[in-house]
Amino acid sequence: MARAGYSPPVTAHDDTPLWLFADQLGPAVYGGEHAHREILLVEASSALRRRRYHRQKLHLVLSALRHAERDLGDRATLLKADTYTDALERFGRPVLVHEPTSHAAERFVHRLKKHGLVADILPTPTFALPRADFAGWAGNRTRFRMEDFYRDQRRRFDVLMNGADPVGGRWNYDEDNRESPPKKQATLGTPKPYRPHEDDIDDQVRRDLDRMDIDTVGDDGPRLFAVTPSEAKRALTRFIDHRLELFGRYEDAMMGQDWAMSHSLLSVPLNLGVLHPLDAVHAAEQAYRRQQAPLAAVEGFIRQILGWREYMWHLYWHFGPAYLRNNKLDARAKLPDWWIDLDADAVTAECLRHALMGVRDRGWTHHIQRLMVLGNHALQRGYHPRELTEWFATAYVDGFRWVMPTNVLGMSQHADGGKLATKPYASGGAYINKMSDHCADCAYDPKKRLGDDACPFTAGYWAFVHRHRDLLAKNNRTQRAVSSMERLKDLDAVLEQEKARTHF
């Protein structure tokens, strides 16, 4: 006899419907062997209210779900409910589901399976490498190098390879992809990125969000990112044909009047599952084979997708939920209100102001603004890494739960003590001055560490090095910074200044 609150296991059949989460909305999930199945989609209002998300992120998720319902036609049923459980109970039949993309959601679907609402849980099809295969690659490693993983991915999927050797004789062209922004230009001058056309579904989403009166951050605005497979295909084609050529050279550069530069803007459709990573990788490789884009640009883009993105996904599962508790640098500062509320007008430093403006206005900035401006500032000021991870996951439109722990705790904040990255990514104003056009118009001077116009990144860098001097002195990649700090004659004054700093 079944005990209370428990139902016997349910067997999946050929006619068992398939339930799609909002980040599983592409043909890799519902096509192929599942092309005959009925599809269940759920809008759970409790999930929308659970955290303080960016307004545009909620719009993208709802727009993606509703466009999926329209595009799938008679196959799809979209239920609106308070919770996922309510919707499944109302649906009245057990469903199949693919492994979700967070620890909490995975625990949840296993509970649903115990209660008979889910018939079976299938492997995730929206990444190139299956989770089981990564577990074999990881083995008993305690430290991880993305480059090792990336090379294995290239070999496994035969991408940019000439037999057993990498095309061009090198695996990595990162050294060719670090150019400063072009001088005497306000923008990079690349053709504009793909821009989706809002339709009646987007209009209704906007009205519904207004009516729901959900507490959000950021500004509402036009939808900037693809949310359907057909839109994603057009966005990918636009990038490959018109923007990939310049992507590599300037991928680490920042320009105040060019928020997109030559970046692909494909992270949203990739993370919604409407674009498969191998489709993006193969399109880029074909551009190189057709002599449409240089090898350095193509390799750099492929490394982001087949290397870094896949690596972050698999390490999220490999490290497990406990990874979020890492705080090896003992960073305890609360995120300031101007940061949480995206109040860019409260910030003076041009680089930081523009980065916050990007999050406020679009819920998106490119990777160097994330790592070397926002992440660098947070690292220097000792913001709590778990709070920071939560902020990135909710304020960014592409910040799904699996994306941010390793990116923020590991790469950006060095909170895992070097498990993922070999050194903290801290820098002074000199780096930002080299890689951006922000400093020329800034009230702060990147060359100054002391005084009213001292750059908070330059001064903050030395305060960070001093605070963690024992740790940094033991790392051969950072010990020179410690010896340089020890030669500063005004160090005490800089430390006192930064301790009292409240404005950036």
| pLDDT tens for each residue of 53-85 | 999 999 999 999 999 999 999 999 999 999 999
CATH of domain 18-122: 3.40.50
pLDDT of residue 9: 52
pLDDT for residue 1: 31
Residue spans per domain, the chain: 18-122, 131-198+205-321, 337-500
Q: Rounded to an integer, what distance in angstroms lies between the CA atom of residue 500 and that of residue 393?
A: 30
Q: Class assignment of domain 131-198+205-321?
A: mainly alpha
What's residue 3's pLDDT?
32
Q: List the one residue out of 451, 360, 453, 371 whose CA is nearest residue 411.
A: 371
pLDDT given for residue 141 in this prediction: 84
Whole-number pLDDT of residue 6: 39
Provide φ and ψ at 321, rounded to 5°: -60, -30
What integer pLDDT is reported at residue 143 of this predicted model?
A: 78
Q: In the numeric block, which tokens belong to residue 412?
A: 């950006």
pLDDT at 11: 59
pLDDT of residue 2: 35
Looking at this protein, which amino acid is placed at residue 45? S
DSSP string over 162-219 = ETTEEGGG-S--GGGS-PPPPTT-SS--PPPPP-PPP-HHHHHHHHHHHHHT---BS-
Residues of the chain with pLDDT under 50: 1-8
For residue 40, give the H/E element and its range.
strand 39-44
| Rounded Cα–Cα distance for residues 365 and 357 (Å) | 9
Share of the chain above pLDDT 90, in %: 93
* Cα gap 381→346, rounded to integer Å: 17
The top-level CATH class assigned to 337-500 is: mainly alpha
